[in-house]
A and B are shown apart, each in its own frame.
Chain A
Amino acid sequence: MTETRATREEQVLERIDRARQRKARVREEHITMAHGAGGKATQTLIEAVFLDAFRNPLLEPLEDGAVFAAGGTRLAFTTDSYVVSPLFFPGGDIGDLAVNGTVNDLAVCGARPLYLSAGFVLEEGFPVEDLRRISASMARAAAAAEVSIVTGDTKVVQRGKADGCYVTTAGVGLLERDAPLGVAHARPGDAVLVSGPIGEHGVTIMLARGELDIEADVTSDTAPLNGLVTALLAAVGGKVRCLRDATRGGVATILNEIARASGVAVVVEEDAVPVRPAVRGACELLGIDPLYVACEGRMVVVVAGDGDGDGAGDGDGDGDGDGDAEGGVADAALAALRSHPLGEGAAIVGRVQDDPPGLVLLKTAFGGTRIVDVLVGDPLPRIC
């Protein structure tokens, strides 16, 4: 009796997997907030509308930036728009996000960010003083990331549109290394790391909106990651399979992209994922999972495995999630991240396996297992 039930359940699960592989189709006639959340709806929109219209080999990989050669030089090119509300929040403002976000998208392609453009859509009535503040933040952020903002544009729309200020940045960077990075490059045996505590930006924004009446000591983690990437690549260069900065949709979204694109399973140890107590408290209070909450200065790193199956957990029993004492690529990567101020809280959080392909699994602190699925809906609108 149990046998038959188990087989029937298997059949249903297989049916679901097949349904999930089907081609993306946008069912809605109008855009909804879910399309901006960074999860399933966003992905479907991109594939079914934009990819469908623009289709070309440089766009197909749908990585954070496009990588190509022009006149013998290899470049990376990316763009991002910023519609965050509120514009100013603990830890930064829309200007910081606009510079750091684009710098990070270039850095995770393995490129050295060089030049940015900045486009502004301003609402009639927006205070010039606020615009000066935002510009000053952008200048500071650019200096910290060692990039220059070299071109831009300004438009003004009537009162009531644009919610103050929208910023779009595009960036170009130089590819100085050869080994390809991408979400499709993860292999069974690889180790998965995050560069620091997760969910800080999303929670900061949520609380800054003031509607929830919650006070907490949380600030946005917005930061330029190019220095951290350089340190990581210097240490473990050719062993890095994939780098992604976790923004809207959080770390869970990145892990799902990797699992799907590489056709592998990503297994994460809940205990190993760094989350600050205040972030955890806010998420518990509101019933949100920190894995899905946006960051703006954190990377997910996948490095080649050592072949001896090490990865997450506490192999040497010293309680700090460092894995086995005899070293390996994962430990070298961790050490490189931790040696940089932005990577202080880095941790090895999981490993890549071959089965079940396309899924992200979580080993709960409690010892049970569950799936971490692609984000559906929008828990925190207008997060970045």
Chain B
Amino acid sequence: MRFVDEYRDADKARALSARIASLCEPGRTYKFMEVCGGHTHTIYKHGLEDYLPETITLVHGPGCPVCVIPMGRVDDAIHIAEQPDVIMTSFGDMMRVPGGRGSFFDSTAQGADIRMVYSPLDALKIARREPDRRVVFMAIGFETTTPSTAMTVLRAAAEDVRNFSVFCNHVTIIPAIKAILDSPDLRLDGFIGPGHVSTIIGCRPYEFIARDYGRPLVVAGFEPLDILQSVYMLLLQLAEGRSEVENQYARVVPWAGNGKALRAITEVMELRPYFEWRGLGFISHSALRMREKYAAYDAERLFDIPGNRVADPKACQCGEVLKGVLKPWECKVFGTACTPETPIGTCMVSSEGACAAYYNFGRFSRQRVREATR
């Protein structure tokens, strides 16, 4: 597969690994946060930590849009799904996220019509095909996905589709990173920056991190070599006393981002004054809602949602995992009460959640695995 396989070459990985090791100062430890859920997934899926010296720790951040959805919002979505003649459509990752009353999956067992779609355009297609039903799209995601929802709403408006609406839970990445930077619990040396979010917002929004907080940030691709190269670039910056934003993923990410996408977002949506993030609490100007102009496509206006705040279960430590303060296995309920089969928190449910990634891929201690595969 072109533009994929070349970045999975093991020989180049070993070379990069050697370079990385040579750039590490003796006696110093490094902590880099990878913000994006896709990066967490790649790191575990390809066993990337085997290529890094013990002195480098990769900390998983809150870049998993499924993971940060509060339980109350899931309940709201289920409430909508349970209305007569509603077809709720959603990405696969949302299906097992537990709200206060269960997940989408549990709801389908009780009779709700909830369908998995690959694209919001597929949800719009269902709306066209079934004019007697009200089709709602559960919109989640960071800026990578927001333009797709916006474009779909614009298309629905252009075609005057009357039975389609969006339950908007889109969030923005910069406030989340800022919350991490301002958190007293964490001492990070740099960031592996989100790759696909950056195709939309570009690289400039991260400049404050390098300039005001003195942390280098490298926008990284999603193949194993991309991540290794990004670690290398971060170490090089630290070794040379620089603190800049660099773009490792330049083959895909334009420095200025995607203007058309940003315009589509601002046409259809506006920032909420504040929004609750699971584990991080309320963050101002961190999420989007539909503009008044597109009220006809806003599920929040069309349906009467309970809007209850549901507290996370006491045992759940997702918040600390999302902030990178705890490693998954350091959570008290990891692997015992909270497993992929019986998830308590979102970090275990989403395929990109740090806990799910670790449980499914990395669980067995690195050393034992290395011995077993010698």
Contacts and interface: CB of A to CB of B under 8 A. Distances in A.
Interface of A: 2, 6, 8-10, 12-13, 15-16, 19, 27-28, 30-34, 40-41, 211-213, 265, 267, 277, 280-281, 284, 286-287, 353, 355-356, 359, 361, 363-371, 373, 376-377, 379
A9 B327 CA distance: 10
Contacts of A364: 45-47
Contacts of A211: 117-118, 122
Contacts of B275: none
Interface in B346-374: 351, 359-365, 367-373
Nearest to A17: B335
Contact of B335 (A10, A16, A356): A16
A379 B92 CA distance: 8
Given A9-B329, A33-B105, A367-B13, A16 B336 contact: yes
A9 B54 CA distance: 14
B224 interface: yes
11 contacts: A13-B335, A33-B108, A211-B118, A212-B122, A286-B118, A287-B351, A355-B368, A367-B47, A367-B50, A369-B372, A370-B44
A28 B13 CA distance: 45
A213 B122 CA distance: 9
B137 interface: no
Contacts of A280: 1
B133 to A, nearest CB: 16
A284 B3 CA distance: 13
Given A34-B105, A364-B45, A366-B8, A13 B364 contact: yes
Nearest to B9: A366
Contacts of B51: 367-368
Contact of A41 (B47, B341, B359): B341
B340 interface: yes
Nearest to A265: B372
B228 to A, nearest CB: 10
Nearest to B119: A213
Secondary structure of the B side of the interface? helix
A13 B365 contact: yes
B365 A10 contact: yes
Contacts of B96: 377
Nearest to B334: A12
Contact of A27 (B330, B340, B342, B373): B342
A19 B364 contact: no
Contacts, number: 128
A41 B339 CA distance: 13
Interface in B1-22: 1, 4, 8, 10, 13-14
Nearest to A288: B92
B311 interface: no
Interface residues of B, number: 52
Secondary structure of the A side of the interface? mixed
Contacts of A377: 95-96, 105, 340
Given A12-B334, A211-B122, A377-B96, A359 B46 contact: no
Tell which of B44, B45, B327, B373 has the most Cβ of chain A within 10 Å: B373
Nearest to B110: A30
B106 interface: yes
Interface string B15-56: 000000000000000000000000000001111111100100
Given A284-B1, A367-B50, A370-B44, A361 B365 contact: no
B224 A366 contact: yes
Contacts of A13: 329, 335, 363-365
Query: A-B pairs with the 4 shortest C-beta distances?
Result: A368-B47, A16-B335, A370-B361, A367-B10
Given A265-B372, A353-B372, A366-B46, A371 B341 contact: no
B117 A369 contact: no
Nearest to A32: B109
Nearest to B38: A287
A309 B255 CA distance: 52
Contacts of B50: 367-369
Interface in B301-330: 327, 329-330
